[in-house]
A = this chain, B = another copy of it.
Amino acid sequence: MNPELGVCYYPEHWSEEMWATDAARMVETGLSWVRIGEFAWSRIEPTPDDLHFDWLDRAIEVLGTAGLKVVLGTPTATPPRWMLEKHPDMLAVDAQGQLRKFGSRRHYCFSHQGYIAECTRIVRIMGERYGRNPLVAAWQIDNEYGCHDTTVSYSQPALRGFQRWLANQYGSVDALNEAWGNVFWSMEYASFDQIDLPNLTVTEPNPAHVLAFRRFSSDQVVAFNKAQVDVLRPLTNAPLLHNYMGRILDFDHFKVGADLDIATWDSYPIGFLSDRLEADEAHKKAFLQQGDPDMQAFHHDLYRAVGRGRWWVMEQQPGPVNWAPYNPAPLPGMVRLWSLEAVAHGAEVVSYFRWRQAPFAQEQMHAGLLTPNNKPAPALAEARQTADDLAKLGALTQTQADVAILFDYASDWAWAAQPQGVEFNYFRLVFSTYRALRRAGLSVDFISATGALQSGYKLILAPGLATLDGDLEHRLTEGCDLAILGPRTGAITRDFQIPISGRPGLSGLDCEVDLVESLPPNVQRKVEGGGAAQHWVDRLSGDAPDLLTFCDRTPALKGENGLWYLAGFPDEALWDRIVAMAAQKVDLPLHSMPDGLRRRETEQHFFLVNYTTAPVLWDGHKIAACDVTILRKDRHDQS
């Protein structure tokens, strides 16, 4: 696979005379792909049923004939203002019961069937018009599901949809009462239509109620997406994709991804460091203009799994954005670094957002490859340089990693419903796991709890995996030499009950969680020999050998038969010990990486990526600040 570059473009924002010049300049910059159309509904259909495709026909023609492959977006993330007059109840409602009004984007509730019908209508029309157009090389469906906290809606359509979904899941309301333990506070229902959405309750609602609503809400996204897929499939052979976001876990991306051909995501390293990452002030300062050294790679690896191997960066941050608490500029070299790092993780395309900074509306302070008045922004030259790098690089092939993390969206919903301690959340735990593996120089795969069994791993980690049901133990023991579970793995059933048969309930591991503790940030539980647990501790019993113990002699890690259970949320030192123990156990070579230097292996290369502001000398190679060193395996034994 030869990676390519692309860009996001909005012909409707610029006078038509500029299109051809823009297209030529894109090609000259080394770009091969251009995404258009995803916010253009008001120009395609200014009033109901009054369709204006002429401009879009010409835009596709101009871009395509210049040599660019077009990704055409369905415009359903931004219904025009008239849509609200047809469907006044289509807006989502927030947890406080407030209507989320028109005036920005994503102003729809996933449960509104009337709006879904409008979406399939416009998508059918577009599919019929452009489905066989050779210039349209891919389709993007909607835009950034879940962004702006839009997965979950407390609207009346959502309520009715939830009641139907529950009836379908549980069959009888008695079964639901039993499954949720509604006897607890006399919360038993006599019919499904008595069940309300789990917001605005006096104190916290039943976590089983919340988790069911979160599953329902995820399913509504899957169904919304599938409705468009079902329309487009017969009308085009071009691949269908969606652009996911960073650290948005509100719907099951594996399920949405199963209906699509390619996963893409929108990578904003500096914005995400600022607005959605737990890290101390020193770390955020050190990587302020580079982004967190593991955040991009994490999502690259995750979306590679969601896309079953096929994935892109659809929107690559090219400069300061407008939406984070602080919006500094990337350091010189970082746009190229991010692009090459994506390629190292298997991106087929890296597409910059956006071609030219808009001088108007919400994102006018969001940089592009060009300034609003058409001067080159710093990223333009870096895109050009990246294109040259890719030309030199040639074909690149991904290989299965030795190590995988089992990732499960529903676990995030579960622990958000009942965090037990304010410092605990699923992403934070999984990300700390991923960081630990990367500090050891490992390439990492993500796998899902469902789908085809994935085997051949030396090591699989499943931290915080809420529910171990079905054949999951079997899949783990078949899939790898050593599986590390915990903390908080197998802690609940799918209906959010503590399994009476014991937690985590593994037949091969004699180990049970009897009691759980959450801790404030200033308290750690030290482990004999070094490292500590923080935030969370499972207190373990059972006959499986203690591999590590806390200073009070209680088990910190127990294991047997290729199954380990980890009792706490490890700090960095404890993670490093556990990774080292596991590596020794399964004969996994480690490469200790300094802070900010990361390593990724492909079939043909070793990539060394330096997120720091100083050159790093490592294993005999000097990697410049904000730079990437690519070593061909045929010329290097090891890196």
Contact = CB atoms under 8 A, between A and B. Distances in A.
Contacts of A500: 359, 372-373
Contact of A184 (B180, B360, B371): B360
A518 interface: yes
9 contacts: A40-B186, A42-B186, A46-B188, A78-B186, A80-B188, A184-B358, A285-B522, A327-B421, A327-B516
Given A206-B362, A329-B539, A362-B204, A514 B183 contact: no
Interface stretch (A96-104, A334-342, A435-443): A96-104
Contact of A103 (B80, B99, B198, B501): B198
A502 interface: yes
Interface in A330-383: 357-365, 367, 371-373, 375, 377-378
Nearest to A12: B183
Interface in A449-467: none
A207 interface: yes
Contacts of A359: 181, 497-500
A474 interface: no
A373 B502 contact: yes
Given A326-B520, A539-B329, A377 B515 contact: yes
Q: How many residues of A sit at the interface, in one of the four size bands? A: 35 or more
Contact of A520 (B92, B288, B365, B501): B288
Contact of A422 (B79, B182, B322, B326): B326
B207 A362 contact: yes
A101 B202 contact: yes
Interface of A: 12-13, 39-43, 46-47, 75, 78-82, 92, 96-107, 147-148, 150, 180-190, 194, 196, 198-209, 274, 281, 284-285, 288, 319-320, 322-323, 325-329, 357-365, 367, 371-373, 375, 377-378, 418, 420-423, 496-502, 514-520, 522-523, 539
Q: Is the interface of A mostly helix, strand, loop or mixed?
A: loop
Contacts of A187: 42, 78, 81, 102-104, 361
A232 to B, nearest CB: 20
A592 B502 CA distance: 49
